[in-house]
């Protein structure tokens, strides 16, 4: 059965690879990317609907959500895939540390603004997380902006842990109403990810190493496609975090998912 599938970060990497395979499978794919040129070019190649939004500007996210909700009153899958490892600590025009905003807060905003079409579709929300969540995160509800002991890798890991906590809370709040949510680690990918990062990770991704040792975007997209097209409750557990298609336990930080949700809505000025 054809699904309406919205993919952020769809102009490159595993997002683009997943979009290609989903279009071939007969699904209605809506591609979202940051670069107007790259997103338009990729969408024209696939004959897919597309939108541009820079997650470093929350006004873009709000406008995107409004357009998607108008155009698609029913969404079957939302793939929150956009993300980046950045460099030195930067504050956006919205007043948030950039990694926190781009990798977590913008996805929280987009998902909550689309909750009605997602519930109508009995949707699956698929979040691209990372094993950095369990390896390098130190989430602090009093320092979500990473103002203390900042590092690009820790800020990235924090945001990915926040996505996992968001996944758990989406499940708790909305699974009884038909929505499912899942997070996953795609593994190392030989793509454009992090090449523009102003950090040691960016140096690594600009080297030949990823091409020699990491998987291709098409292969890495396999887990994302599995989660998007298979049945929650039968093939995977809503609220869970997956690595290599296996449910993986993640040690819970001191921050409770419901408290992170409440703090996020407060920061964004959303109704509780």
Long-range contacts of 18-25 (CB under 8 A, 24+ apart): 18/79, 18/81, 18/221, 18/224, 18/225, 18/228, 19/46, 19/48, 20/46, 20/218, 21/218, 21/221, 21/225, 22/225, 22/228, 22/229, 23/47, 23/48, 25/229
Q: Quick count: other Cβ atoms within 10 Å of Cβ 147?
A: 12
Pairing of strands 246-247, 241-243: antiparallel
Q: What angle do CA 46, 123, 97 make, to 5 degrees?
A: 80
Q: Which residues, in sequence order, are bridge partners of residue 125? A: 78, 181
* E-assigned strand segments in 38-81: 49-52, 77-80
The yes-or-no answer on residue 104 being catalytic is no
Q: Which helix (H) or strand (E) holds 262?
A: helix 257-268
- Is 66 in contact with 41 (CB distance < 8 Å)? no
Residues 6+ positions from 27 with CB-CB distance below 8 Å:
2, 3, 4, 5, 229
Token pair of 61 as six digits: 């996210």
The catalytic position among 51, 104, 150, 156 is: 156
Alpha-carbon distance of 248 to 108, in angstroms, equals: 22
- Is 197 in contact with 205 (CB distance < 8 Å)? yes
Report, as residue numbers or ranges, the catalytic residues.
Answer: 156
């Amino acid at each position: 059965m054809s699904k309406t599938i919205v993919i952020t970060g769809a102009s490159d990497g595993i997002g683009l690879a997943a979009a290609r395979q989903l279009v071939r499978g007969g699904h209605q794919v809506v591609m979202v990317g940051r670069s107007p040129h790259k997103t338009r070019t990729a969408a024209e190649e696939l004959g897919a609907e597309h939108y541009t939004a820079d997650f470093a500007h929350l006004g873009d996210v709000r406008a995107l959500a409004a357009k998607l909700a108008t155009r698609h009153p029913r969404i079957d899958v939302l793939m929150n895939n956009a993300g980046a490892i950045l460099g030195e600590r930067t504050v956006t025009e919205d007043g948030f540390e950039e990694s926190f905003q781009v990798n977590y807060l913008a996805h929280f905003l987009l998902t909550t603004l689309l909750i009605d079409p997602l519930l109508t579709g009995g949707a699956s929300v698929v979040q691209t997380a990372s094993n950095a969540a369990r390896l390098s995160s130190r989430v602090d509800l009093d320092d979500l902006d990473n103002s203390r002991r900042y590092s690009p890798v820790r800020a990235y890991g924090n945001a990915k842990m926040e996505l996992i906590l968001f996944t758990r809370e989406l499940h708790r709040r909305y699974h009884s109403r038909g929505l499912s949510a899942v997070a996953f680690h795609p593994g190392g990918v030989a793509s454009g990810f992090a090449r523009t990062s102003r950090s040691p990770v960016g140096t690594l991704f600009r080297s030949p190493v990823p091409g020699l040792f990491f998987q291709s975007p098409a292969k890495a997209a396999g887990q994302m496609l599995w989660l998007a097209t298979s049945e929650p409750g039968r093939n995977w557990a809503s609220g869970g975090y997956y690595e290599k298609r296996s449910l993986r336990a993640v040690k819970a930080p001191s921050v409770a998912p419901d408290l992170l949700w409440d703090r996020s809505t407060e920061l964004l000025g959303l109704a509780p």
